Amino acid sequence: MSFPVLDVQGLAYAYPDGHQALFGVNLHVHQGERVALLGPNGAGKTTLVLHLNGILTAGKGAVAVSGLPVTKDNLLEIRRRVGIVFQDPDDQLFMPTVRDDVAFGPANLGLRGAELDARVASALEAVGMADFADRPPHHLSFGQRRRVAVATVLAMEPEILVLDEPSSNLDPASRRELADILRSLDVTVLMVTHDLPYALELCERAVILSDGVIVADGPTRDILLDEETMRAHRLELPFGFNPATLPER
């Protein structure tokens, strides 16, 4: 198989209060894969994600993105390569207009003029928000703000798009629109989610993180159908949702 675009080896981390959140996590994601990161609350999912672009620094082990170690010296380039879309879009939108928000990251990289305009237009087009460029973000619906948050990350042309609970708080139409957008993107995706139908719809592979270790890694459908593993790690399918009745992709 090709060289992993995301390579996590033996990652362990304890918070300053002594709480150990990760105990030697190994995770390898290859270019073009879409991987769902599943697990109960408190499993360490957010802690793992915050290591991927250097917000947290490994206590033990290592993280690399396309061979580049996630270290202090490499943070600028790592944060270009790994784009994180947080659960609350308001954590990422703080400029007067949508256009300004999407331009912020690339402008910080030194892009100017026509090149910057083209980058912004391309990112907004990718999420179906090109007509909203001059609107203040706080005038948009929650679903629209989440799409703009995705655009702010896409404008950096990342190698990996990390999404934290992308379907949370979305109405069914917005959820569907976002799924269509994510399917259309030519980028490696790591999606943290409790929304198991969404994981099955968008990600061919799933990983379960539980108590700071990876306990399952395989095709999403197979993992969701493994009742024993699901029950052991407090993962429950929604009432009436049965992956076995859905056609295999």
Please report whether residue 14 resides in a domain. Answer: no
User: Which among 161, 204, 200, 196 is positioned nearest to 181, based on CA atoms?
Assistant: 161
Q: How many CB atoms lie within 10 A of CB 107?
A: 15
Please report whether residue 7 resides in a domain. Answer: no
Please report whether residue 16 resides in a domain. Answer: no
Please report whether residue 133 resides in a domain. Answer: yes
The pTM for the full model equals: 0.94
Give the chain's domain count. Answer: 1
Q: Where are the beta strands (DSSP E) in the chain?
A: 6-14, 20-29, 34-38, 60-65, 68-69, 82-85, 160-164, 188-192, 205-210, 213-219
For residue 12, what are the CA distances in angstroms to 15, 20, 74, 211, 214? 10, 8, 20, 12, 12
Residues 192 and 37: beta-carbon distance below 8 Å: yes
Q: For residue 2, what pLDDT band results from cuts at 50, 70 and 90?
A: low
Please report whether residue 103 resides in a domain. Answer: yes
- State pLDDT tens for residues 229-245: 999 999 999 988 888 88
- State pLDDT tens for residues 97-139: 999 999 999 999 899 999 999 999 999 999 999 999 999 999 9
Q: How far apart are CA 18 and CA 121, in angstroms?
A: 46
CATH number for the domain that contains residue 90: 3.40.50.300
User: Which among 24, 182, 184, 157 is positioned nearest to 81, based on CA atoms?
Assistant: 157
User: What is the model's pLDDT at position 110?
Assistant: 92
